[in-house]
Amino acid sequence: MDTRFIDAAAIGTILRSRQIAASVHTAIVAPGHIVYLLRYDARIGISKIAALVEDIEAAVHNARQHAAGVDIPVTRARLVKQPLGVEVSRLHPEPLQWRNVYATRLHTAVIGETITAAGIARPVLLDLSNPATPHALVAGTTGSGKSVMLRTIALTLAMANSPDALALYIADMRAASLMPLAGLPHTRRLVTTPAQTSAMLAELSGLLMETDRPRIVVIIDEVAALARLDKQAHSAAMLALEDIAARGRGQRMHLIAATQHPTARAIASLARLNMPAKIIGRVDNAQAAALATGTPGSGAERLPGAGAFIHYPGGQRLQCYNTTTDVTKRMVAALARHWPAPRKLIAPPMQTGPSLADQRRAAVLAAIANYVNPSGRLKHGWKTAAVMALHDESAKPTGNTWRRLLREATAIVDNANLTKASKTAKTDTVSVSQNPA
């Protein structure tokens, strides 16, 4: 259903009902949204129109639903300032397909397309070799398309640059959306835990001054996960990040840092990294939008999601390519066939210190240290302490998660080098209970 006339009529009704001397004169259709440009009296303050966005959103949604005769998806609307207009999400958005992507110039990612005021589609580029945009922040809540954007950046960089010209170091601390990128010949390292990410960052900081290496792009999703590290390790990881951000711009090393929830604390940490390029999708609220973009009134909280982003500097609205998991796997396979493996390693294999199993064992034994009495018996409460040491979240786990972690903790305690008395006492103390102790 073509909703342009319906939408324009609903917008006009709201403007007239509020006695605003403005009207719709042009509709610019993009894959995921329509921008209705306004003809208005220059004496009207833009703030008066901005105050009507929620009313316009509701009016357009109701008019569409009435015309369709059935329930329709939520309609999103936001103010566009240059030129002045109202952006409304399309009733049936069209994903931006990968067939439109072309290999760009060296060291530059194609992050999507924008539609000009003349209705012409133009690619949006992220040029990492430009001194003004050596690093980028990508932010967006669940459903915004943040992971799709990160995959798009990695793949379009790999399309235009050989593995000997560009290397990818990737941290996917959810071990999910970026994992297919492991098959790229450009990917030198892909880690999945905060501890591994911290070690990788320390290694990269040491490579900054090495001249005989390719350009390096470091992609981190989710950067806020580094907060799971203990205070000392977190401080070391952030110092390495700051070092890469500060010196990397002149040493061919670039950061793409992603966050799902741009809170004041997270943005304060990232602000020290001085990331001038920002690619911001839908966020939770206006405060998060202002924090992420650095600009009040961006309207990022009103984006429809599904690959809709605003690119700074400049505030350019774009639609990201529909880089699904299947598309990513096909592109990775094609690029692996196209590019030969890199001729030389950048550095020896990373030394990550103790294995993950050793780290978890140490965490459990440290957590229960205060629950061992002088006779070696474990006191009430040790189970909760041990399980929480293994759990990634702050909330106490329940059900199957509790039982699985307690079995792991029990095995660690059973195999620990405890005294004979402690082991004897433990025999009737340690059991896999279904309820927290």
64-87 per-position pLDDT tens digit:
999 999 999 999 999 998 889 999
Q: How confident is the model at residue 362 (pLDDT cuts 50, 70, 90)?
A: confident
Indicate whether 115 pLDDT > 80: yes
Indicate whether 355 pLDDT > 60: no
pTM value is 0.76
CA–CA distance from 374 to each of 16, 186, 369, 379, 417 (Å)? 81, 55, 11, 11, 16
C-alpha 173 chain-centroid distance: 11
pLDDT of residue 434: 41
312-348 per-position pLDDT tens digit:
988 999 999 999 999 999 999 999 999 988 876 665 4
pLDDT of residue 408: 78
Element at 327 (helix H, strand E): helix 325-338
Sheet bearing 85-89, strands edge to edge:
22-29, 33-40, 85-89, 77-80
pLDDT of residue 272: 62
Query: What percent of the chain stands above pLDDT 90?
Result: 48
State the Cα angle at 178 between 176 and 180, rounded to 5°: 95
Element at 388 (helix H, strand E): helix 382-390
pLDDT of residue 294: 85
Indicate whether 278 pLDDT > 60: yes
pLDDT of residue 421: 31
CB count in 10 Å sphere of residue 400: 9
pLDDT of residue 139: 92
Average pLDDT value for residue range 215-239? 88
pLDDT of residue 419: 44
Evaluate the CA torsion angle 145, 146, 149, 151 in order and state its sign.
Answer: negative
Cα–Cα distance measured from residue 61 to residue 81, given in angstroms and rounded to the nearest whole number: 22
pLDDT of residue 346: 66
Cα–Cα distance measured from residue 180 to residue 437, given in angstroms and rounded to the nearest whole number: 40
Indicate whether 150 pLDDT > 60: yes
Top-confidence residue, 399 or 144: 144
Residue with tokens 């949204």: 33
pLDDT of residue 395: 61
- Torsions phi, psi of 361, nearest 5? -60, -45
